[in-house]
Amino acid sequence: MDLKNTARKFISFPSDSDEEYNGPYVVRPQQLDFLVRVPHTFKDAAGYADELMQGKAVMISFRSVDQETKSRIFDYMNGVSYVVRAYVSKVRENLVLYTPETVEVERQKRKTSLWNR
């Protein structure tokens, strides 16, 4: 099962059925715990940071918070990511993936066909 299908089990993307997925993929997982979180307050970010520091990948959906809280959580998680040398990847407008240093994340190149030229 790939990252896209795993994330879709937890987060619904209403208009994704027609789109081709071009988001990040986990390329070289070892023993990887993948967590999907939906924060409701800034206090939730401390737990997500702890999970990231324990070597778990954390995908955060910001759909349930206002813009100010989103910015605070985003800044906090990016600071933690910098300290622990984690990777940060924007998946969608309100969906961000944080992966530990031991996991490579690579975007799939857009496929082109002869029909789309």
CB contact at 8 A, 16 and 106:
no
Residue 73 belongs to a domain: yes
Residue 115 belongs to a domain: no
Per-residue pLDDT for 17 more than 90?
A: no
Residue 41 belongs to a domain: yes
CATH code of the domain covering residue 46: 3.30.110.150
What is residue 101's three-state secondary structure? coil
Residue 65 belongs to a domain: yes
Task: Count how many domains the chain has.
Answer: 1
Residue 50 belongs to a domain: yes
Tally of CB atoms within 10 A around 98: 25
Residue 109 belongs to a domain: no
Residue 20 belongs to a domain: no
Residue identified by tokens 């059925």 is 17
Residue 46 belongs to a domain: yes
Tell me the pTM: 0.66
Give the mean pLDDT of 51-61: 92
Q: What is the pLDDT of residues 79-91, one digit of tens each?
A: 999 999 999 998 8
Reading the block at residue 102, the tokens are 């031991």
Radius of gyration, CA atoms only, the chain: 15
Q: What is the pLDDT of residues 89-110, one digit of tens each?
A: 988 889 999 999 888 777 766 6
